Structure 1
Amino acid sequence: MSEEKIIGKGTWIDKLASELLEREKELGRNLDLINVESGLGASGIPHIGSLGDAVRAYGVKLALENLGYKSELIAYSDDLDGLRKIPEGMQEFGLDEHLGKPVSLIPDPYGCHDSYGMHMSSILLDGLDKVGIEYEFRRAKETYNQGLLKNQIHTILENSTKIGDKISELVGQEKYQKYLPYFPVCKECNRLYTAEATEYISDKKIVKYNCHDTEIGSKMIKGCGHQGEADITKDLGKLAWKVEFAARWSAFDIRFEAYGKDIMDSVKVNDWVADDILQFPHPHHVKYEMFLDKGGKKISKSLGNVITAQKWLEFGNSKSILLLLYKRITGARELGFDDIPGLMNEYNELEDTYFGRIKVDNQAKLTKLKGLYEYVNLLNPPKQSSIHVNYRLLIELTKIFKENRNERVMKKLIDYGVIKEEGNQEIQKLIEIAGNYSDEFDEQEKIEVELDNTAKKAISLLITELEKEEDPEDIQNTIYQIAKGNDVQPKDFFRILYQIILGTSRGPKIGPFITDIGRKQVAKTLSEYV
């Protein structure tokens, strides 16, 4: 069997960049600058999935640069999108009167940005900044105001009949056989989706429109009845999603854009519009699954079940976010804050692999893991490893010590032999975020550990000892004797206990650690496994 060819650093990101380059060369396009794009929604609070779109596109940019090409990430905020419904948790701001208006024309309910749309965009941009992503930011409002899409809009509207028929054929939507795929902003009421364009006067570059009642989602939005005209080169308006991506790709020379499965139909149509109408070969794509909440629902701005980068970073570091997003791109994943401890520890293991402390015999796997580590560090890995402290250990210790937390947890870590001295700022930051986690979440998700009946019996006996009123004289010895008396190797029993309590195969001396956590608390945790 031939050896698997390793591309770049051996990850899916490198494979994607290589496929992109191969396609570009076949198309014969100039490769002096390869632009990748991420679209940012500005109609609700951006979540970790929104962040992921840009982070992954940035990964492709890095891979292209690693292969010797210049690349830029364009982060495009669709802040001319109309507000379709009020996001969960924002009912108090009285946004109902603004339904149907472009989010860049709605005042910022928090009063700190020039519009609602810019406020929402800023949350995502702040998240990108915090995890170290570099980008060129472009706003839809400015893009349209500056006429950067005017040639594409003109060509699309001249071919609107052909496009309307193709949309009906490809995705079964007949709306654009009746109306143009362009929404002017009504000059009377500032609404977008109520102003439906009915005619394009090509030589004057003007659309005629009627502003009438329109159903958006399940809600009827009142139109003002205005019949007007809009100049596509200077009046505010925007292309429909079914054609707008294609216009952007052509105008900004975009060669790569990932997309979520929820907009598959739009991408299918836009690819055809780019190829057949604008004569611009559509970008290379990769489709990704959406993040789901722990109940299996799609994480959504409007549903209010969002996990923002800012909230995540209260409990985990930026490396845990980047690891989550760069591990893989395919497959739907349920996501919650309880994933943070596992990702924090997984990063430590990845770092140990990178620096050779964990041995991996399979060369292809080792290359891939090292590559993943480098991407999580945005292809600028540290020269030496950081000090590692098991994150679940920190959570348990911060549960115990509420007062003078940093100092007391630090002392315990020294007692356990985990660190040698106090004052390390990196460890102090870890204690701080682990403390945030333990304060916010009382219960951690149960860690899966495979146990046979012998191990379960030994755990039951240990629970009995831990639940006794009087302290066992020596918990460490008690555990050792229970293991020996029940045909369990002591080292295996210690490992099982570490797995249950800390999610790892080793840790501080188990007896004193159980005493610190509290015998009855540990007994309660163990009882879930028998």
Structure 2
Amino acid sequence: MTINDFSSFTSIPKIWPFEEAVKLAEHVRNKKDKSDKPALLETGYGPSGLPHIGTFGEVARTSWVSQAYQALTGKKAVILAFSDDMDGLRKVPENVPNQEMLKEHLGKPLSSIPDPFGTHESFGAHNNAQLCSFLDHFGFEYKFASSTEYYQSGKFDSALKRILEVHDKIVAVIAPTLREERRATYSPVLPVHPETGIVMQVPMEKIDPVSGTIQWRDENGKLFETPVTGGHAKLQWKADWAMRWYALGVDYEMSGKDLIDSVRLSSKICKILGGTPPANLTYELFLDDQGQKISKSKGNGLSIEEWLRYGPSESLAQYMFNAPRRAKRLFFDVIPKTTDEYLKHVENWQKSERGDDSVGPAEKEKKYANPAWFIHGGVLPKKAGSPISFAMLLNLASVANAERAEILWGFLKRYDESVSPDNNPMLAQLVENALAYYADFIRPHKVYRTPDEREARALIELSVELKKLPAEEHKPDILQNLVFAIGKKYEFEPLRDWFGCLYEVLLGQKDGPRFGMFIAVYGIKETIELINKAVKR
């Protein structure tokens, strides 16, 4: 598609959600169904476990594609959060109570198993409620769908009968991907045992597309005839995925790199059914601090609760926004950088919003290429952003050995007496995050280096020059220029070695913020004392 197809834009923003929105718009335009229904974007959820950081990432990314599509086309879009709660429970999760009770129900649909927490009518209902609460907490707009409700209510009935009509063609697609012993017995249809309630994986003895029934035997040899409609059977997941695309008319769904083959197979099945597979984005998987793929069973990842202890939810959104097609480390040390990256995007958006009416359309459209525009749903919050970076707060906490928020607010108010938790809610959040991050990751690893002779002379001169500065020149840019000048005078080459000295000698860490800003916030007198203490060390 060309920019002429989107007359409200002078150019399509060069950022991945708009690239995906163009794919989605082209898919919608080429659909056989030319009705004016909203574009349907699906995101799937396996409710055998609780929502996690990957759940957040997939729904957030799907939301941003929807947002870009609606901005680009002026048409509506709906996100369907689909829970496969009719899936049979294969193993008991380790992080739930009443393990022995759950073992008695292995193989049954999650929506038919008692809730081990005792709060909902089923295990599936409990985890679905957790999912909705999770999505609501982050302000996502979505429509929830239960696999059990869709199967039992008849919404899938015509599609399930169509599955029987093309049963052998589906088997021909899937069978080559299976081990030899499974090929002989494979069927995309899984009947629910009418006596035990278990989702059965058995060969079919007879398939009747006209009556919409299947015949099969259980492990005891007993023959059953089961309708595939009304929730009496479900589908193997690749066929189930394809059937949903076909039955619901799904226009877009993203998935992880580990599902590339599944997308390919499900797309083939969708075409066999007579449907069109949705537009798709394949995102990369997360890596741990050692560069290994994150595994829930290994526990080598970072939970969403852990992230939110050390950074605001907006920083997590920023992390998910960045380069979804590239594998990224998901570990604690990415939080500070990602947080400040988000704050910078907010600052840029605020600057563009302050432009007057003379600003041209192309200039105004810059916000559409700003991740903060997506993170905040296109509406800039009145009190968004922070006058102080997260890196700065971490360094203040480190130098002051801060254990309470009042200590950091004392420095901040001295730098700018107008700041307060009420006026700067993001700054207030960052203060709490900084205290937690400092306590857990910085304080245990602080190592101060003794300066060499040249470094000591440069530090002493910095303290002397700071003392000479009149109060009206205690400004970040002036202080930064002074630091630069002394580094050049003492011939630090490259100049970053001078800043490395400041961080390692004065702060006890490998890197830090713009040092001029640090001096302005921490205080001239306090910085001089810090230098004198380090030189005497």
Normalising by structure 2, what TM-score? 0.77
- Partner residue, 1:72: 78
- Partner residue, 1:283: 278
Query: Is 1:14 matched with 2:18?
Result: yes
- Tell me: CA distance 1:116–1:465, structure 2 relative to 1, closer, same or farther (3 Å): farther
- Partner residue, 1:23: 27
Q: How does 1:28-67 map to 2 (within 5 A)?
A: 28-30=32-34, 32=36, 33-66=38-71, 67=73
Q: Secondary structure at the match of 1:38?
A: strand
Equivalent residues of 2:27, 2:251 under 8 A apart: no
Identity of aligned residues (%): 29
One-letter amino acid of the structure 2 residue matched with residue 239 of structure 1: L
Candidates 87, 97, 104, aligned match of 1:81: 87
- Tell me: CA distance 1:502–1:279, structure 2 relative to 1, closer, same or farther (3 Å): same
Tell me how far 1:81 sits from its aligned partner: 1.8
Query: Is 1:341 matched with 2:336?
Result: yes
CA distance in 1, matches of 2:367, 2:487: 39
Q: How does 1:206-221 map to 2 (within 5 A)?
A: 206-212=213-219
CA distance in 1, matches of 2:257, 2:445: 28
Q: Secondary structure at the match of 1:60?
A: helix
Number of residue pairs matched by the alignment: 490
- Cα deviation digits, residues 272-310 of structure 1 (max 9, x gap): 11112x211111111111122223343344444454434
Q: Bigger relative contact order, structure 1 or 2, given CA contacts below 8 A and separation 6+?
A: 1
Which deviates the most, 60-69 or 414-423? 414-423
Equivalent residues of 1:7, 1:18 under 8 A apart: no
One-letter amino acid of the structure 1 residue matched with residue 144 of structure 2: F
Equivalent residues of 1:274, 1:282 under 8 A apart: yes
Q: Secondary structure at the match of 2:104?
A: helix
Q: Secondary structure at the match of 2:139?
A: coil
Q: Secondary structure at the match of 1:114?
A: coil
Equivalent residues of 1:199, 1:207 under 8 A apart: yes
Equivalent residues of 1:394, 1:434 under 8 A apart: yes
Query: Is 1:154 matched with 2:161?
Result: yes
- Cα deviation digits, residues 477-514 of structure 1 (max 9, x gap): 79969847732399967755469443556532177599
One-letter amino acid of the structure 2 residue matched with residue 431 of structure 1: V
- Partner residue, 2:431: 431
Structure 2 runs not aligned, ≥5 long: 4-8, 355-361, 469-481, 504-508
- Partner residue, 1:268: 264
Tell me how far 1:373 sits from its aligned partner: 2.3
Query: Is 1:135 matched with 2:181?
Result: no
Candidates 312, 320, 331, aligned match of 1:325: 320
Q: Secondary structure at the match of 2:40?
A: strand
CA distance in 1, matches of 2:106, 2:249: 33
Which deviates the most, 26-35 or 407-416? 26-35
Q: Secondary structure at the match of 2:119?
A: coil
Candidates 347, 350, 355, aligned match of 1:355: 350
Equivalent residues of 2:187, 2:202 under 8 A apart: no
CA distance in 1, matches of 2:32, 2:43: 24
- Tell me: CA distance 1:393–1:369, structure 2 relative to 1, closer, same or farther (3 Å): farther
Equivalent residues of 2:96, 2:117 under 8 A apart: no
Q: Secondary structure at the match of 1:507?
A: helix
- Partner residue, 1:216: none
- Partner residue, 2:517: 507
CA distance in 2, matches of 1:104, 1:381: 40
Structure 1 runs not aligned, ≥5 long: 213-223, 447-456, 467-471, 524-530
Tell me how far 1:244 sits from its aligned partner: 0.8
Tell me how far 1:254 sits from its aligned partner: 0.8
Aligned-pair RMSD on alpha carbons?
4.3
- Tell me: CA distance 1:237–1:315, structure 2 relative to 1, closer, same or farther (3 Å): farther
CA distance in 2, matches of 1:99, 1:476: 71
Equivalent residues of 1:100, 1:194 under 8 A apart: no
Equivalent residues of 2:79, 2:143 under 8 A apart: yes
CA distance in 2, matches of 1:501, 1:416: 22
- Cα deviation digits, residues 125-150 of structure 1 (max 9, x gap): 33322322100000111111112111
CA distance in 2, matches of 1:105, 1:18: 41
Equivalent residues of 2:286, 2:328 under 8 A apart: yes
